[in-house]
Structure 1
Amino acid sequence: MLLILIFLLSPLLSLSLNEEGFYLQRVKLGLDDPAGFFADWNESDDTPCNWKGVKCDSATRGVNSIDLANANVTGPFPAVLCRLQNLTFLSLYNNSINSTLPLDISLCENLQHLDLSENLMTGELPGALADLQDLKYLGLSGNNFSGEVPASFGRFKKLEIISLVGNLLGGEFPSFLSNVSTLRQLNLSYNPFLPSELSPELGNLTNLETLWLSRCNLVGQIPYALGQLRKLTVFDLSLNSLQGPIPSSLTELTSIVQIELYNNSLNGNLPNGWSNLTSLRLLDASMNELIGTIPDQLTGLPLSSLNLYENHLTGKLPKNIADSPNLYELKLFSNRLIGELPPNLGENSPLVLVDVSNNFFSGEIPPNLCSKGQLQQLLMIHNSFSGQIPASLAQCRSLNRIRLSINQLSGDVPASFWGLPHLSLLDLVGNSLSGGISNSIASASNLSLLVISKNRFTGQIPEEVGFLNKLVGFLGDDNLFDGSLPASIVNLVQLGQIDLHNNNLSGEIPSGISSWKRLNELNLANNQLSGEIPAEIGNLSALNSLDLSGNQFSGEVPAELQNLKLTQLNLSQNRLSGQLPPLFAEEIYKNSFLDNPGLCGDIAGLCDSRTHEVDRGHTWLLKSVFAVAVLLLLLTLILFYWRYKRAKGAIDRSKWTLMSFHKLGFSEYEILDCLDERNVIGTGASGKVYKAVLSNGEAVAVKKLWGSSCKAADGGHAENGTIQDDGFRAEIETLGMIRHKNIVRLWCSCTTMDCKLLVYEYMPNGSLGDLLHGGKGGLLDWPTRLRIAIDAAVGLSYLHHDCVPPIVHRDVKSNNILLDANFRARVADFGVAKVVAAGGKDPKTMSVIAGSCGYIAPEYAYTLRVNEKSDVYSFGVVILELVTRKHPVGPELGEKDLVKWVCTTIDQKGVDHVIDPVLDSCFNEEICKALNIGLVCTSRLPISRPSMRRVVKMLQEASGENPSKVGGKDGKLTPYYYEDASDPGSMA
């Protein structure tokens, strides 16, 4: 009867297909298959054994293996597979299976391998799984399973691997799993169990090779009995609340390769006996409260990574640490270690990272740290190192991050040290280094931050600094630099900060500084600069801090400075004269213009000696002349505008190319009329944005790409430069083909040989970033913020999961989330978007990093390999912005980014100290759920981050919505925290 029913439901099925083939056809019909995984599951075949993902027994020809991993299918768990009598292997890894696990799963009685990880499954784990007597592998990680782990799981007979990582499992920690003596891997990390102590009975699992219990809410002490696990190679109890000493029995784990105990409250001395661990490669006991010295025995091991940072360790670093032949990572920062580093450190070890910051080390920097030619990061902040920078480090071409600030280093910096080709950060702040910046700095083509403040550097800043086209920050204040600023410095178009105050610089500010479109801070105070203040400064739309005080500038204060939105302005102690521009003639700006004897304005204390000489009649005459001049100016402007309107018809319309992506009700000539600075509504990394009100009364947003020389109706030029073809192409190739309610609509593009315009739908409430961090940010209530997060997540989920092939945005941030009149969100700015392989199986390697500071995923910054999980990290930062109303980087966070600040603050002060105080406390439960989602998304490891489809579901559930397709889930979100505290002085 069953076969007859299947035949009636699917009349096109061939009668030649065997019974197992019919069952698999039901699987195909029950799952959505947007990527066409089932394309070759042909009902006309007589057997399914040649179908994709299907394997059969060579003798019986019965189906014994179904592998649908990474198939991108959606739907409920296909319980019909349990009718395949010979099925021993079943994998649905990394799909969107969105149901509960059926109670009759025990019907798959011959299963040996079951992998349902990385799906959207909900509900409780069925106890009937333990009835699968032959089961050896059970993978259920990365789902939304809730409730307790069934006690029946302690009855598995042959189970070797169980992985429940990253679910919502609660109740007591399942100590009864210690009864499954066959276990080789026990992976239960990242589940919100009730506070539980580890049972000593876990020591009975003598076959165990991996014990991964990170973030399981474990309390109490580490049982001494765990020293019985002699086959253990990976031992991870990190990110819990364990207390007490590290038991000495752990030094008896003779097979151990990796021990991770970081982020607990362990205390006491490191035990002796480490010489037994002849296979130990990684020891990470950082961020505890360990005391005492580092045992000599520990440093005699073949360690590859030693991480003991943020403890209370004292004493000297044992010299034989330098004898470890595999040591590539040494993290000891934030302890109380003293003495000198071993002079031969690096001679025998392929060191890649050395971080000994925030200790009391002294002596010279070991000269052979890079003798193996692999050292990439050298971080020695806040110690007492002295002597010169070793000349050998100047030959270490692998270095990309150097931080030697706040030490007692002296002497000249080796010339080649300035020009290391892969260097991105050079931080030498707070030493006594001397000499000048070498011309070889031209070779440091990847340098983005040059921070050399508070030293004794002398001489002129070389012209070669202007060749560093990736330089974002140049901080050289409190030195002895002299001479003029190099003319080439205006070529640094990526600059965000220049701070050269307290030097002996002279001459004028070079012309051409209008190229600094991204400059946020310009501080040249207390030098000997002269000449007039360039009016070009008024074109630096991103500038919010300007300090030119304590120089010899003369002439008038440029009226163009009124165009800026400054939070700090200081032009005091110069030789400025004339009248203040009207905007600055206010008492609030008084301290910005002090000690300029010739400067006048309606502010007490400015130009007082001249006010007594001007009688009222003279004042009246001056005002009359001014009024006449204003009238003449108005008449001139009216005449100019009349001529402009007549001249606009003279444009050569044949030169314009319009490419539309929707039905339009306007022409390109209406757009051109609106390219006026008065209509600018924003600027970004890719261009300037104008609001254009059309003749029909509707508004659109027009982006003019940086570098475009767009001829306006009067034939003038707005800007000069080169066209950003890549960004333009990326926008039209992605937005041109996308139709989604949460992706900003691209109406059309307008191009000529020297101008490229993109026309979008106009979003009246601007960007989320501007609104959230502007004066009205406190008016956004929590329901609105959560609705914005859901809208943006839905848009990104569409890009990742519904576009074929998937699209990675690569610049997800609050400024690229736009809001309509009803505060509904759209994802915007696809200038750096990239198409990637389906499922992210082949991450694409980029030539340069795209994205914005504070939003870039760690693995993207280090490897330049990008997939969907890079966007997930960036979106997690946006969620944290919505919860905290803090910028992703900034002075208010100290030297941390937002992710690290949130995690540190929660750990030290509690969750209430990170939530925006203007939010109504009645929403605290929802806010905490969203906060947890943000922390999940910003997990250090990409594999720990959810897919955007899952993020949508979690946000919808946090808001009380019923997610479409995927159903609901029970339980609470598990709190995840940032897992890397390295480089405590890291700069944004």
Structure 2
Amino acid sequence: MTHYRQLRHHGLFHHLLLLLVLLLPSLILCLNQDGFYLQRAKLGFDDPNAALSDWNSLDDTPCNWNGVVCDSATGSVVALDLSSSNLSGPFPSILCRLKRLSFISLYDNFINSTLTEDDLVMCQSLQHLDLGQNYLTGALPHRLADLPNLKYLDLTGNNFSGDIPDSFGTFQKLEVLSLVENLLEGTIPAFLGNVSTLKQLNLSYNPFKPGRIPPELGNLTNLEVLWLTETNLMGEIPDSLSRLGRLTDLDVAYNSLTGPIPSSFTELTSVVQLELYNNSLSGELPSKGWSNMKSLRRLDASMNELTGPIPAELCELPLESLNLYENKLQGELPIGIANSPNLYELRLFQNQLSGNLPPNLGKNSPLRWIDVSTNQFSGEIPENLCFNAALEELLLIENSFSGEIPASLAGCRSLLRVRLGRNSFSGEVPEGFWGLPHVSLLELSGNSLSGGIAKTIAGAANLSQLILSANNFSGGIPEEIGFLDNLFEVSANDNKLSGSLPSSIVNIGQLVKLDLHDNEFSGNIPSGIHSWKKLNELNLANNYFSGDIPSEIGDLGVLNYLDLSGNRLSGKIPVALQNLKLNRLNLSNNHLSGDVPPLYAKGMYKESFLGNPGLCGDIEGLCDGRDRVKNMGYVWLFRSIFILAVLVLLVGSIWFYLKYKKFKKAKRSIERSKWTLMSFHKLGFSEDEIFDALDEDNVIGSGASGKVYKVVLSNGDAVAVKKLWGRPKSTDESADVEKGNLPDDGFDAEVDTLGKIRHKNIVKLWCCCSTRNCKLLVYEYMPNGSLGDLLHSTKSGLLDWPIRFKITMDAAEGLSYLHHDCVPPIVHRDIKSNNILLDAEYGARVADFGVAKEVDANGKGTKSMSVIAGSCGYIAPEYAYTLRVNEKSDIYSFGVVILELVTGKLPVDPEFGEKDLVKWVCTTLDQKGIDNVIDPKLDSCFKDEICRVLNIGLLCTSPLPINRPSMRRVVKMLQEIGNGNLTKTAGKDGKLTPYYYEDTSDHGSVV
């Protein structure tokens, strides 16, 4: 009462009443309970894209917020969809306090940490949970099965590990279970067969232990989709799967399944898609029962060991896609296949099939792709292949087809790729066939085709490869060929082509290869060829070309194959040819004269100039060398003067060096007391031994950030010392990284990372020493230097395939340790061949951790970086535009290193034009085949193993991060290759990956 009187007395009572009236509307309009919980969830997210910017605490309801759906009657939150919002942080368990919440999707974000048992147990109303494509780790929470209403569970593309919990066999209403692309172990459990409500079960791409398909899965009578791709399955396919009467899609590809395809499979009357490829299945296809499978549209049993004929019943189904390539199938193709009304894809290449193709093939179906290459087919090409104007690919190489190319194909404007090579086709090519507007690859090599190249080729605007080798083509190359802006290869060797080269040919600016050897061309080599800036191979050998060799050839910066032999060329050899870096040069058997340019006046080039009587140079056999005798006196005089000058310079240098060394020693003794030493191992040497050896005589490497010294210790051992000097902090950290500089915190990162790592495949950091202006890092010494320096030098021959495989294995184990065994995990961020060092036995160590980052348990390490770290050619495509640090970018870089080891080529090279090594490998596989990818220095007896390792490199460099295997998986695949028990995969081209289309008859083309 006293206080009341005091307030009134001072006039405060009226102020409080006024304040209460003003605040009353805000109190009435305050956020409801569901909105309050969502606000709490928002606080736990890192939201760089401001996806939650409209989650305003001043609103009275969250129903209009981004991603929030409310019940129209009650206003309660019933669904939350924040897919692809770039959110990071742990899963917000407070969402489970929303009592009516039935739908949660956080797909494609950066949700991290572990998913604890208590995170979701309160979500009793939850029916749909999608946490796919995130960074969750640890074991699968076994209490997920306690959610009574859960129907949809998708945890795809995370890093869950361990076994699938026993409780997952007790879901009450679950219809969809997707655990694709995790790190799950154990075997596929039989208890999943108890979840009778399941409609979709997807466990693909997990490193399960080898095991069989549980027969209990046949109890899932409601199942519509069963995906077990690349799950380490072995043994036979159980007959019990034939009980899955509602199954529409079965995929067990990329496993080690053996035995026959069960005959009971033809009882799967609802199946639309049947994927059995890339296993070791054997025996014949079921001969009967296919007529029951009226819904079957796609059958892919390629890359197995199937034998026998293709059943007639199968070919009478309304198929859309039939892929049986690379087996041992025999017999003729059933005539009924031409009656499939929906058939758009027919791939039967690399079998032993014979006979004629059905004459009506393509007439009754929208056939788009046909590949029957590498068989024993004969007869003519069916007239009706393009009857429905849909045919895009016609691949018939390596058969015994004969007759003429049908005139009907000249009107097939849908064609994109045509390969008819190595058959017995004859006659002239239809005029319109030359000018098909969308064809990019036209290969007719190895036939008996005749006639000329028609002027209608001007209409082939998309043509990039014209391969006409080994035929009987005659006449000249038409002037219209200069209109083809996309053309990068012309191979027309071993024909009867004649006349002069058209002047317009110099307009083809994209030309990479021009091979016209063994024809009857004449006239001069046209001027203006300096426009061929991308030309890599020029072969005009064994023709009748005359005149001078154009000096413009010296301007072709990426040319490495030049053969002009066997012509009538005259005049001098242009000195400008010395500008080229040629792997092959042949100018023999012409009428050249004068001196050989000094660069080529060596014995190793002798064969390149034979058969030119007028040539002279310091090569035995080119001239008698009398001029050399005449000038011998002058040579001795100049040599004497030179030797005297060298002696004077040498004596002066020694005197200066001794004085300088004495000065440096005195200076070091003053500065040595200022050094701070930090050791990480028990040292068998003192810092004095290190300091005394830091002189220029011991430098073994130098870069923008400092120098590397080899220091031989008193006990005979050696260490490598990296000396970094202080520098001003750059405003452009990415520029520093690109130049090889460590960023300002790079020294600390290297010390912090290597100081606590103990692994045989990580370079050992003995100790570090530092002062204000200089820092030293003392490592174990690696006698064979870096992999990059050795692989791309003249000593690359020392690296045979067993050594390269050992290096690959060692580096993979080191990187796997960083990703999976370090706590927290470490992302290197600059994996490249120059950062893989080799010891005396070619054992590999991962080195240079100056830009490494830890991926913390709370996910902070997955935030976007401010700059790109890494080296050109090794940077993952998504890292370049998202700047997000994760293990997948390291895996991409490691894949590039694998491609380096297989090809022997640099990651970026002028030879590739605008491509990098990854794109070059894919393109070359497509266009030329595996033999043009593998380093020719490698012994062909290892080809199968090399192909398998190459395929791992392609997997690691997949454009999509989710498609790249984890490093733990990479190590396992390499171990299987080393042990010789890798799952049977592709054929001679050695492809494994499901992310590229396997087309071995087309020389391993990636489509």
- TM-score, normalized by length of structure 2? 0.69
Q: Who is 1:675 aligned against? A: none
Structure 1 pair 22/776, CA: closer, same or farther in 2 (3 Å)? farther
Aligned partner of 2:262 in structure 1 is 247
Aligned to 1:434: 450
Deviations 1:619-660 (A, max 9, x none): 469989999xxxxxxxxxxxxxxxxxxxxxxxxxxxxxxxxx
Equivalent residue, structure 2, for 1:219: 234
Q: Alignment partner of 2:313: what SS?
A: helix
Matched, 1:102 2:116: yes
Change (3 A) 1:52 1:34: same
Structure 1 letter corresponding to 2:30 = S
Shift of 1:771: 8.7
Which one of 896, 920, 925 corresponds to residue 878 of structure 1? 896
Report the more deviating stretch, 53-62 or 346-355.
Answer: 53-62
1:945 is aligned, of 948, 963, 969, to 963
Per-residue deviation, residues 105-124 of structure 1 (Å, max 9, x unmatched)? 21212211111001111111
Q: In 1, distance between residues paired with 2:58 and 2:290?
A: 65
Q: Aligned partners of 2:876, 2:955: CA distance in 1, in Å? A: 21
Aligned residue among 174, 189, 198 for 2:204 = 189
- 1:593 pairs, out of 599, 609, 612, with 609
Identify the residue that residue 134 of structure 2 maps to in structure 1. 119
Partner Cα distance (2:199, 2:942) in 1 = 39
**Is the Cα–Cα contact under 8 Å of residues 470 and 493 in structure 2 kept in the other structure?**
yes
Superposed CA RMSD in Å reads: 4.3
The residue number in structure 1 matching 2:63 is 49
> Per the alignment, do residues 457 and 870 of structure 1 end up closer, same or farther by CA in structure 2, a change over 3 Å counting?
farther
Partners of 2:321 and 2:876 in 1: CA distance:
41
Name the counterpart of 1:790: 829
Does 2:30 correspond to 1:16?
A: yes
Q: Distance in 1 between matches of 2:471 and 2:147?
A: 70
Structure 1 partner of 2:772:
none
User: Of 964, 982, 986, which residue of structure 1 is paired with 2:999?
Assistant: 982
1:464 Cα shift?
A: 1.1
Answer yes or no: is 1:88 the counterpart of 2:88: no
* Partner Cα separation in structure 2 for residue 465 and residue 379 of structure 1: 24
* Aligned pairs (5 A) from 1:525-540: 525-540=541-556
- Unpaired runs of at least 5, structure 2: 1-25, 640-702, 706-730, 741-785, 816-826, 833-850, 856-861, 906-916, 972-984, 986-990
Conserved 8 A contact 2:831-2:890: no
Pairing 1:139–2:178 present: no
Q: Distance in 1 between matches of 2:1001 and 2:891?
A: 20
What is the CA-CA distance between 1:585 and the residue it aligns to?
1.3
What is the Cα deviation at residue 915 of structure 1?
9.5
Residue 869 and residue 512 in structure 1: after superposition, are their counterparts in 2 closer, same or farther (change >3 A)?
Answer: farther
**Does the 8 Å contact 2:132/2:154 carry over to 1?**
yes
The aligned residue for residue 206 of structure 1 is 221
Q: 181, 189, 197: which is aligned to 1:174?
A: 189
**After the TM superposition, which residues 665-680 of structure 1 pair with which residues of structure 2 at under 5 Å, given as runs?**
none
Deviations 1:417-466 (A, max 9, x none): 11111111011110000111111111111111111100000001111111
Q: 477, 495, 501: which is aligned to 2:511?
A: 495
Q: Structure 1 882/98 Cα, relative in aligned 2: closer, same or farther at 3 Å?
A: farther
1-side partners of 2:211 and 2:968: how far apart?
Answer: 31
1:474 alignment partner, one of 471, 476, 490: 490
Q: What is the CA–CA distance in structure 2 between the aligned matches of 1:514 and 1:127, rounded to whole Å?
A: 69
Q: d(CA) in 2 for partners of 1:827 and 1:218?
A: 31
- Residue type of the alignment partner of 1:791: D
Question: Residues 580-729 of structure 1: matches in 2 within 5 Å?
Answer: 580-608=596-624, 611=625, 616-617=629-630, 619=631
2:164 is matched with 149
Q: Distance in 2 between matches of 1:827 and 1:166?
A: 19
Match for residue 287 of structure 1 among 298, 303, 328: 303
Secondary structure, in 3 states, of the residue corresponding to 1:984?
Answer: helix
Query: Does residue 362 of the first structure (1) align with residue 378 of the second (2)?
Result: yes
What is the distance in 2 between the residues matched to 1:368 and 1:768? 55
Pair 531,537 (structure 1): closer, same or farther in 2 beyond 3 Å: same
Distance 1:44 1:815 in 2: 49
> Structure 1 residue 790: deviation in Å?
2.5
Give the partner amino acid of 2:344.
Answer: Y
| Change in CA separation of 1:77 and 1:227 when aligned onto 2, cut-off 3 Å | same
| One-letter amino acid matched to 2:558 | A
Q: Are the counterparts in 2 of residues 872 and 938 from structure 1 also a CA contact under 8 Å?
A: no
* TM-fit CA distance, 1:880: 3.3
Deviations 1:245-288 (A, max 9, x none): 11111101111100010001111111021000001000000011
Work out which of the residue numbers 538, 544, 555 in structure 2 matches 1:522: 538
Question: Counterpart amino acid of 1:183?
Answer: L
* Superposition pairs of residues 162-561 of structure 1, within 5 angstroms: 162-271=177-286, 272-561=288-577
Query: What is the rounded CA distance, in whole Å, between the counterparts of 1:325 and 1:742 in structure 2?
Result: 62
Residues 220/616 of structure 1: CA separation in 2 closer, same or farther (3 Å cut): closer
Partner of 1:649: none
1:30 is displaced (CA, Å) by 0.8
Query: Which residue identity does 2:58 align to in structure 1?
Result: S
- 2:830 partner SS: helix
1:147-173: CA deviations, max 9, x gaps? 000011000111001000111101011
TM-superposed CA distance for 1:878, in Å, is 2.2
CA displacement at 1:174 relative to structure 2? 1.6
Relative to 1, partners in 2 of residues 1:145 and 1:377: Cα closer, same or farther, differing over 3 Å? same
Answer whether contact 2:70 2:78 (CA < 8 A) is retained: yes
Amino acid at match of 1:519: L
**Are 1:66 and 2:86 counterparts?**
no
Query: What is the rounded CA distance, in whole Å, between the counterparts of 1:773 and 1:40 in structure 2?
Result: 55
Amino acid corresponding to residue 201 of structure 1 in structure 2: E
In the superposition, relative to structure 1, how do residues 327 and 404 fare at CA in structure 2: closer, same or farther (>3 Å)?
same
Classify the secondary structure of the residue corresponding to 1:320.
helix
Distance in 1, Cα, partners of 2:419 & 2:216: 47
CA contact (8 A) 1:869 1:945 kept: no
SS at match of 1:536: helix
Q: Output the CA distance in 1 between the equivalents of 2:395 and 2:55.
A: 57
Q: Deviations over 1:907-963 (max 9, x none)?
A: x979964699xxxxxxxxxxx9xx968625428xx59536xxxx9xx679999xxxx
Conserved? CA contact 2:476–2:497, under 8 Å: yes
Q: Do 1:458 and 1:480's aligned partners in 2 also have CA atoms closer than 8 Å?
A: yes
Conserved? CA contact 1:93–1:118, under 8 Å: yes
Number of aligned residues: 764
Shift of 1:529: 0.5
Q: 1:620 to 1:171 in 2, by over 3 A?
A: closer
Q: Displacement, 1:835?
A: 8.4
Q: Over residues 843-886 of structure 1, what are the superposed CA-to-partner deviations in whole Å (9 max), with x where a residue is unaligned? A: xxxxxxxxxxxxxxxxxxxxxxxxx9999998685253256454
Hey, what does 1:864 align to over in structure 2?
none
Is the CA contact 1:742–1:827 (under 8 Å) kept in the aligned structure 2? no
Q: 1:95 to 1:447 in 2, by over 3 A?
A: same
- Structure 2 counterpart SS, 1:196: coil
Structure 1 residue 741 displacement after superposition: 6.4
**Partner secondary structure for residue 137 of structure 2:** coil
How far residue 57 of structure 1 moved from its aligned partner, in angstroms, is 2.0
Instruction: Give the SS at the match of 2:426.
Output: strand
Partner of 1:719: none
Give the aligned partner of residue 731 of structure 1. none
TM-score (norm 1): 0.71
How many angstroms apart in 2 are the aligned matches of 1:378 and 1:554?
Answer: 45
- Deviation of residue 985 (structure 1)? 2.5
